[in-house]
Amino acid sequence: MSRIGRLLCRRLAARIGLVVGIFFGIILLVEFLDTGRFNQTASLAGPWTATGLAFLSALRWSLLGLPVTVLIGSIVALIDLQTHREMVIINAAGHSIWAALRWPILMTLVFGTLVTTVVDAYAIRIYQQLDAAQIGWGRAYGVQNRATWFNQAGEDGNYMLFARNVLQGGEELRNISVFRLLDDGETGSRIHAERAILEPGRWVLHTGTVLDVDRAPEPFDILALSTTATPSELSLKLGTAEDLSWFGLRSALRTGIADPFARAAAETRFQKLNAIPFVLVGSLLIAFAFTAGYRRAGHYGWTILYGIALGLIVFLVMEMADRAGSAGVLDPIAAAWGPAVGAIGIGLTIILRREDGTV
């Protein structure tokens, strides 16, 4: 890496880190100001757990807003470089903006990849290990210990499974009832059991009774019902794809998800995580497009506002596309990669127009 590359990467990393830290601090302050939930969590799980959950919640919101914070941090760094005329010196030394962009783009790609595969995965894992759902913090697994319906299918046919208590992310159900789905005019059985455990390819029901209109009730100790459901699919049905890491989503998509809505949500979330490094590159390019040019008067007010507004538009489009893809309205690949391609295209177009004339 050249000295110019080190200078740009250091300055960008410092300013982006500062903006992300400020954004994180604001969200953390909001979490602590919600004294009702914090005190309730502290009474149920202790003050340390409540504090940890507040930090994790602020971290996850900060990761969600990375496209905007990276854009703002990059603008601040570039204005600092312009103020000290360092960008002027770089240009005077014969280095084009494309040469200056090379190492910052690589740094942004590496940073985005680490965030999506490591930081987000560890945050989700700790969030779940703290049993956040049991004390009102979890978004996924949010229906634990609540009555829930599951539409199931397997070699034994289609059936509805009703559980009054959901544990272990859906892998253990308590106080359950099974209702078979039959054609009109057919008679079938209904099953009640104390609990059901999900094993590969089947539900294992413990201590229950089979009720049939044609014969007397039949008690049982253990009864198996085939199913195509997987733990990852149940997790998606119980909560949201936002609470599965990149590795969990990849595993779930490889094993297959029968439910079309759960599959659409998982594919959109997975592709969105893959596209985030390129969305951050798009934010970086937009920052360079609006602030890397020389200003004799040194006024960047309107330029900064235009850049931030464009970054917010990209973020909003990304979130709306994510909702559409998760609902199955838009193809997951288009929903996830469209904003990334759009942000990069906008940044490159403006840079080309400013540097090389009409595009």
- The pLDDT, as a whole number, for residue 257 is 72
Per cent of the chain over pLDDT 90 is: 13
Over residues 329-344, mean pLDDT:
89
pLDDT tens sequence across 234-263: 766 666 677 778 888 887 788 777 677 778
Over residues 97-116, mean pLDDT:
88
- The pLDDT, as a whole number, for residue 106 is 92
The CA distance from 279 to 230, in Å, is 32
pLDDT at residue 113 is higher than 90 = yes
- The pLDDT, as a whole number, for residue 277 is 94
pTM, full prediction: 0.75
Buried b (16+ CB within 10 A) or exposed e, 98-126: eebbebbbebbeebbbebbbeebbebbee
- The pLDDT, as a whole number, for residue 352 is 82
Over residues 323-343, mean pLDDT:
87
Over residues 98-115, mean pLDDT:
89
Q: Which residues contact 332 (CB under 8 A, 6 or more apart)?
A: 264, 267, 268, 270, 271, 325
pLDDT at residue 30 is higher than 70 = yes
Per cent of the chain over pLDDT 70 is: 83
More confident residue, 169 or 359: 169
Q: Which residues contact 106 (CB under 8 A, 6 or more apart)?
A: none
Residue with tokens 């602030």: 291
More confident residue, 45 or 142: 45
Over residues 199-223, mean pLDDT:
86
pLDDT tens sequence across 114-144: 999 999 888 888 876 776 555 555 444 344 4
- The pLDDT, as a whole number, for residue 327 is 78
The CA distance from 40 to 46, in Å, is 9
What rounded mean pLDDT belongs to the chain?
A: 80
DSSP string over 204-237: EEEEEEEEETTEEEEEEEEEEEE----HHHHHHH
Which residue type is seen at 249?
L
Put the strands of the sheet holding 215-226 in their side by side order. 148-154, 157-167, 172-180, 189-199, 202-212, 215-226
DSSP state at residue 95 = -
Neighbours of 93 (CB within 10 A): 9
CA angle 178, 238, 220 (to 5 degrees): 25
Out of 30-39, 87-96, 309-318, least confident range: 87-96
Over residues 304-323, mean pLDDT:
81
pLDDT at residue 356 is higher than 70 = no
